[in-house]
Amino acid sequence: MSKNLNFETYLLVSPKKFLVSVKKNNFENIYQQEKNFENNLEVIELNKLNDFLNENI
């Protein structure tokens, strides 16, 4: 028996936070993780984004 599973993956990158979210077709949240920064990042540091993605993918 085979089930067709459909998920949507979202990535938010902003100076205040990074957020990754996985949702089902009906927008039910399956997974969500975010990292907030105390100080707004004027320039998004790619090494921090890379670390966040490695921890959550």
Predicted confidence (pLDDT) per residue in 5-40, tens digit:
789 999 999 888 899 999 998 889 999 999 998 776
Model pLDDT, residue 14: 86
pLDDT (0 to 100) of residue 54 = 93
Q: What is the pTM of this model?
A: 0.71
56 phi and psi, to 5 degrees? -120, 5
Report whether pLDDT(1) > 60.
no
What's the rounded Cα separation, in Å, for the pair 37 and 47?
Answer: 14
Residue 15: predicted pLDDT:
83
- Confidence (pLDDT) at 2: 54
* Spacing of C-alpha 4 from chain mean position: 23
CA torsion 3-30-41-49 (nearest 10°) is -40
In a 13 Å sphere around the CA of 49, the CA atoms on its Cβ side amount to 13
